[in-house]
Amino acid sequence: MADQINEPLIKLKHVTKRFSEADRERTILDDVTLNMGPGEFTVLLGKSGSGKSTLLNLIGGIDSPSSGDIFVRGQAINQMTDRDRTLFRRNHVGFVFQAFNLIPTLTALENVMLPLELGSTKTGHRERALAMMDRVDIVARAAAFPDHLSGGEQQRVAIARALVSDPLVVLADEPTGNLDSDTGAKVIALLDSLTRQAGKNLVMVTHNGEVATLADRAYTLKDGKFSVLT
């Protein structure tokens, strides 16, 4: 499909997500319609349990909506087969998590190489991973295992891993939740500069209301509905 430059890169159309629990169904996202343009930095705020991670999982194709459509780059990811959705996610989506989620038995470099090893290119993985680690200033720790790295260093490795495949969409779920405020601010600045300037979308869930001032758009999620903050 041709690039749809004038189309929003991420488009949620009447998206509803329900979870069944014992004898009842709970509506977590209630008829959500949102557009995110190419290169936009979007912040999602909301209380614990409001459905922020659920929304990221839908955009990233980890979970499917109960109804409605989610378009990423003009493609309805919820209508893809599981196999196609997995491939789409590998090629176009990078995830950054609060708990870093690095594999403890792999070095920092091996963690960053992992998405490339799962992808379709066969060569140059090491060089690409090292180049990405250089951009987030963690290349000096390439041989270290995660448990020898500080929280901020682990998150920089995780950012390199999320970005090494050059994804269009970067989803960050409370990426500074386990960091002190100075380190957290650096991580946010790094994510912002590596995404927005490259025309990628950054969707970040955070408890830090100040981050909203850096974003192009900020929303609050409450009772399954989004309201625009900025």
Residue 28 binds which entry of ligand ADP, Mg ion, none, with Cβ cut-offs from 5 to 8 Å by kind? ligand ADP
Q: How far, rounded to the nearest angstrom, does the alpha carbon of residue 229 sit from its chain's CA centroid?
A: 20
Q: Which is nearer to ligand ADP, 29 or 160 (CB)?
A: 29
Contact residues for ligand ADP, defined by CB under 6 A:
19, 21, 28, 46, 48-54
**Total residues contacting Mg ion (rule CB under 5 A)?**
1
Q: What are phi and psi of 110, to 5 degrees?
A: -65, -35
CB of 204 to ligand ADP, least distance (A): 12
- Is 111 among the residues that bind Mg ion (CB under 5 A)? no
Spatial strand order of the sheet with 75-76 comes to: 24-36, 10-21, 67-72, 75-76
Residue 67, beta-bridge partner list: 16
**Which two tokens mark 171?**
């989803």
Selected from 53, 165, 195, 206, the binder of Mg ion by CB under 5 A is 53
Residue 132 binds which entry of ligand ADP, Mg ion, none, with Cβ cut-offs from 5 to 8 Å by kind? none
Q: Indicate the SS3 state at residue 120.
A: coil
**Which two tokens mark 226?**
């989004």
DSSP E strand boundaries for the chain: 10-21, 24-36, 41-45, 67-72, 75-76, 93-97, 169-173, 201-205, 217-222, 225-228
CB of 147 to ligand ADP, least distance (A): 26
Q: Which is nearer to ligand ADP, 50 or 206 (CB)?
A: 50
Q: Which is nearer to Mg ion, 56 or 138 (CB)?
A: 56
- Is 206 among the residues that bind Mg ion (CB under 5 A)? no
CB of 77 to ligand ADP, least distance (A): 18
Q: Is 101 left (phi over 0), alpha (psi -120 to 50) or beta?
A: left
CB of 126 to ligand ADP, least distance (A): 35
Distance CA 124, CA 44 (A): 36
CB of 221 to ligand ADP, least distance (A): 7
Residue 42 binds which entry of ligand ADP, Mg ion, none, with Cβ cut-offs from 5 to 8 Å by kind? none
List contacts with Mg ion (CB under 5 A): 53
